[in-house]
Amino acid sequence: MDDQMRPAGEAGPSGSSEGILGGAWGGSTRRDFMRTAIAAGVAIGIPMTLQGCVLGAAGRKKLDFGDDFGVLNYAYALETLEADFYKHVTQNPPSDLKPGELQVLRDIGAHEKEHQRFFKRALNVLRIEIPDRDFSSIVMTRDGVLGAAKTFEDLGVAAYNGAGSRVKLAEFLTIAGKIVSVEARHAAAIRDLIEPNSRSFAGDDVIDAMGMDRAMQPAEVLERAQPFFRGRLKVANL
């Protein structure tokens, strides 16, 4: 079943049967998962230290920044928020969007959905529950929607940039790198819709005198994202 069809409440942990350790690990309980996890970790050469992290992290309910899975869950929460936002605004788009703009929002929404899907499949039972999303504060006009999109994309870029040095496994850093540049492309595209052919795509409001983008720590990112969640995201070891 396509994720697009799921209700906003998110499929539960049993909704996906593939996880960080490959494809066939359908274990729906923590014990099943851990049993297959050990075998799979050995099979594909995941370092023992990481396997320890996997076993330690299974069944958590918080964003625990003590290991890479906390960082991955953090990314998962943000991608879920973005994916839902674009779903929300493209289902009943504002009537004053200009030609072509809806397609840009749809493209970006499809990318965010892929990012969310990636983390969901990667984390499997290590996935935390994401509180329901709340977009009632976003004014459903062209200005309102593009303004919110700009906020989300700039925030996403800053979040990945700030989290990069927390990641311990090189493979995860590389994947985060593959994603963050696409978020930055989104940010530029949205800014270009708002202020075409201007300096805004990489404006002085986000890029400093050294030509560098923002890097934001998780606490600040979560504080800015919190208004769009109905419940609080619980955090540990920040």
Partner 1 sequence: MPNDMLFRNEPKRLLGEARLRRDTVDVLNFALVLEELEAEFYTRGVSANMLPDDVKPVFDQIRKHEVAHVAFIRGALGGDAVAKPTFDFTAGGMFADVFSNPQTFMMLAEAFEDTGVRAYKGQAATLMPDPTVLEAALKIHSVEARHAAEVRRIRGQKGWISGSSRGDLPAAAQKVYDGESNTFHFILAKPSSQKLGLSEAFDEPLTKGQVLEIVRPFLGGR
**Interface with partner 1 (CB under 8 A), residue from 214, 220, 224, 235:** 214
Distances in Å between the Cα of 182 and the Cα atoms of 72, 110, 186, 205, 214 are: 17, 12, 6, 20, 15
What three-state secondary structure class fits 62?
Answer: coil
Piece in contact with partner 1 (CB under 8 A), picked from 26-34, 51-59, 169-177, 218-226: 169-177
Phi first, then psi: give them for residue 58, nearest 5 degrees.
Answer: -60, 135
Query: Is residue 207 near partner 1 by the rule CB under 8 A?
Result: yes
Interaction with partner 1 in 88-147: which residues (CB under 8 A)?
104, 107, 110-115, 117-118, 121-122
Report d(CA 174, CA 68) in Å as an integer: 13
Residues 138-157 that bind partner 1 (CB under 8 A): 157
Question: Is residue 165 a contact residue for partner 1 (CB under 8 A)?
Answer: yes
Positive or negative torsion for Cα 113, 114, 115, 121? positive
- In angstroms, the CA 222 to CA 219 distance is 5
User: Which pair of structure tokens corresponds to residue 5?
Assistant: 């069809």
Q: In angstroms, give the least distance from the CB of 131 to partner 1.
A: 24
Shorter beta-carbon distance to partner 1: residue 93 or 162: 162
Q: Judged by CB, which is closer to partner 1: 221, or 233?
A: 221
Q: Which residues contact 51 (CB under 8 A, 6 or more apart)?
A: 37, 38, 41, 42
Binding site for partner 1 (CB under 8 A): 2, 18, 20-23, 104, 107, 110-115, 117-118, 121-122, 157, 160-162, 164-165, 167, 170-175, 177-189, 192, 197-199, 201-203, 207, 209-215
